[in-house]
Amino acid sequence: MRRRGAVQRKLPCLFVTEVKEEPSAKRQRQPFKVLATETLNEKALEADIYNAIPTEKVDGTCCYVTTYKGRPYLWARLDRRPNKQAEKRFKQFLYSLEDCKEFIWNFEEDFKPVPDTWIPAKEVEFSNGNPLPDENGHMPGWVPVEKNSKQYCWHSSVVNYEAEIALVLKHHADPGLLEISPVPLAELLEQTLELIGTNINANPYGLGSRKQPVHLLVPHGAFEIKNPPSLNQNDILSWFEGCNEGKVEGIVWHCRDGCLIKLHRHHLGLCWPLAETYLNSQPVVVSFNRNDYDCDFGPKSLFHHFSNLDGQRFDRLKDIKFDG
């Protein structure tokens, strides 16, 4: 049996949601909207949402740090999905019975191949030694990001396995200031993070450029919301639309029992991305003393470029530029 990675599941929404068709959007990939009602989700109430910690939902792609080849490694998200024939059979079954748990999968033939290094996420259930797909027919999981990987080149740009460090965006000790600095991968073990940057999700934070791509890791839960709205849809809507701190993709509440509850702007019919985001309204400082590391960073690497900016402060993330 494969070992299992960090939790990587679809987070429940703060509110009960309903699906509304969009007749004018038939040609779009998703001709419907999932919108929040005013009723709090039972899962959120069971997780004691009123005492949870609200954090900014950062728009990127999910990553995970765990061991590989006996060392801390960055892992990229990779869902194992059914092939076309199996997916068609699965959807027909759902339309007729609406209970995916009764569907019988052929684990040898129904799924697209994944690398031998693939591991399922922790909350994936098993049956007879085989991981069970979720309600969408997918098996969430991870693959290690190898050095100089072409498929995961933006992931590999933020880690240096020789120095065993990653480039991380986080809060500085001074309030209201962000910091970009190298963090030992060992300190990030068993954590999930979000990879953001130039070539991720249309770059909502304006990082780098096509000529000089910039990517960074953000630990999940890193940006706590200091003045959150009350758990009322009108108050949350006003917060998203009426204050600088609300210029975010969404909110993720971290509950005491480990449960995570989310709310995306789209759930309230609001647009994302925005021309200006809260993450890009804060000054940022680079803290990277290359003398702390006994290795040479390649001249084209992000580690080389950021080490040249050690101690420099910028008004916004999008203002960061490299010489040359």
Residue 1's pLDDT band, with cuts at 50, 70 and 90, is very low
Question: Does 194 score more than 90 pLDDT?
Answer: yes
pLDDT band at 106 (very low <50, low <70, confident <90, very high): confident
What is the overall mean pLDDT for the chain?
91
Structure letter (DSSP) for residue 167:
E
Q: Distance between CA atoms of 64 and 192, rounded to whole angstroms?
A: 4
- The per-residue pLDDT for 107 is 80
User: What pLDDT, on the 0 to 100 scale, is given for residue 27?
Assistant: 47
pLDDT band at 311 (very low <50, low <70, confident <90, very high): very high
For residues 156-165, average pLDDT: 97
User: What would the mean pLDDT of 291-298 be, rounded to a whole number?
Assistant: 93
The mean pLDDT value for 117-145 works out to 89
The helix/strand/coil state of 168 is: strand
For residues 173-181, give the mean pLDDT: 97
Determine the pLDDT at residue 134: 85
Q: What is the pLDDT of residue 257?
A: 94
Residue 316, token pair as written in the block:
């916004």
Three-class secondary structure of residue 297 per DSSP = coil
| pLDDT given for residue 22 in this prediction | 64
Both tokens of 63, joined, read: 């990553």
User: What is the mean pLDDT of the segment spanning 128-140?
Assistant: 85
pLDDT of residue 269: 96
Q: Which residues contact 134 (CB under 8 A, 6 or more apart)?
A: 9, 10, 124, 140
Please name which of 249, 238, 74 lies closest in space to residue 159, comparing C-alpha atoms: 74
Q: Letter for the amino acid at 305?
A: H
pLDDT at 95 over 80: no
- The model's pLDDT over 63-90, given as tens digits with 9 standing for 90+, comes to 999 999 999 999 999 999 989 988 888 8
Nearest CA to 12 out of 196, 263, 273 is that of: 263
The alpha carbon dihedral of 80, 83, 84, 90 has a sign of: negative
Looking at per-residue confidence, does 250 or 19 come out higher? 250
- When pLDDT is cut at 50, 70 and 90, the band that residue 237 belongs to is very high
The pLDDT, as a whole number, for residue 31 is 56
Identify which has the larger pLDDT, 248 or 81. 248
SS3 34: strand
Percent of the chain past pLDDT 70, that is, above it, reads 92
Closest CA to 165 of 191, 143, 186: 186
Query: What would the mean pLDDT of 8-37 be, rounded to a whole number?
Result: 74
pLDDT at 248: 98
Distances (CA, A) of 319 to 82, 168, 206, 314: 43, 17, 9, 6
pLDDT of res. 53? 98
* pLDDT for residue 318: 96
Distance CA 76, CA 143 (A): 5
Query: Residue 49 has which token pair?
Result: 């949402």
Across 41-57, average pLDDT: 98
Residue 252 in this model has a pLDDT that exceeds 70? yes
pLDDT at 100: 62
Residue with more model confidence, 193 or 126: 193
